[in-house]
């Protein structure tokens, strides 16, 4: 018997002797029963969320300055408005706990993306802006979803859970605009 056949036979033998394990392993788990893949420390969450928020505001203001039109301009307006509100909400949440919000600091990658946007000519700007927003929002959604499921500060977890749906809405709009291009 080859190793592959032996491994398969061994797996079948184990499952056959413990049918309840086989049935349990095949049952889908409810979404709220999923354990987080990783945990995010509160200080790191606050730092990364603040920087991400600032990046999305700055890149969207740049889009407005570059003169994007139509649905892309509406997306930029929505991002500026929602992320400004999220930054204010985070600041107020922390002040209520007598804590100070971290100063928004862009990551090196975000600084580079802003430079790419600034250098882009109008013909390429819209596509680049949408691609960058897709990446930024996928990362933000992953960060907020992870912290909402594994955070150790329940007040900040509440902020993450409250903010997450808007981030998901932004991501959905970006995907729709990319698909329409």
Here the tokens at position 155 are 């007040």
pTM of the complete model beyond 0.85: no
Nearest Cα residue to 55 out of 139, 120, 180: 139
- What is the model's pLDDT at position 112? 97
Nearest Cα residue to 101 out of 40, 154, 47: 47
Query: Tens digit of pLDDT per residue, the chain (181 long)?
Result: 444 443 444 344 444 444 443 444 445 544 454 455 567 899 999 999 999 999 999 999 999 999 999 999 999 999 999 999 999 999 999 999 999 989 999 999 999 999 999 999 988 999 999 999 999 999 999 999 999 999 999 999 999 999 999 999 999 999 999 999 8
> Can you tell me whether residue 85 is helix, strand or coil?
helix
pLDDT digits (tens, 9 = 90+) for 101-116: 899 999 999 999 999 9
What domains are defined for the chain? Answer: 1-34 (no CATH), 39-180 (1.20.1260.10)
Spacing of C-alpha 152 from chain mean position: 19
């Amino acid at each position: 018997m080859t190793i592959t056949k032996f491994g398969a036979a061994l797996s079948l033998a184990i499952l056959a002797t413990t049918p309840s394990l086989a049935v349990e392993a095949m049952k889908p788990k409810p979404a709220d029963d999923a354990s987080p893949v990783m945990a995010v420390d509160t200080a790191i969450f606050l730092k990364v969320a603040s920087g991400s928020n600032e990046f999305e505001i700055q890149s969207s203001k740049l889009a407005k300055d570059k003169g994007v039109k139509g649905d892309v301009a509406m997306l930029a307006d929505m991002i500026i408005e929602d992320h400004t509100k999220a930054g204010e909400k985070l600041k107020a949440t922390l002040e209520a706990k007598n804590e100070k919000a971290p100063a928004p600091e862009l990551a090196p990658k975000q600084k580079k993306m802003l430079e790419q946007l600034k250098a882009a000519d109008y013909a390429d700007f819209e596509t680049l802006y949408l691609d960058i927003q897709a990446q930024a929002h996928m990362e933000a959604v992953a960060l907020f979803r992870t912290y909402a499921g594994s955070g150790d500060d329940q007040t900040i977890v509440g902020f993450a859970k409250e903010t997450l749906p808007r981030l998901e809405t932004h991501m959905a709009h970006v995907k729709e605009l990319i698909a329409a291009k």
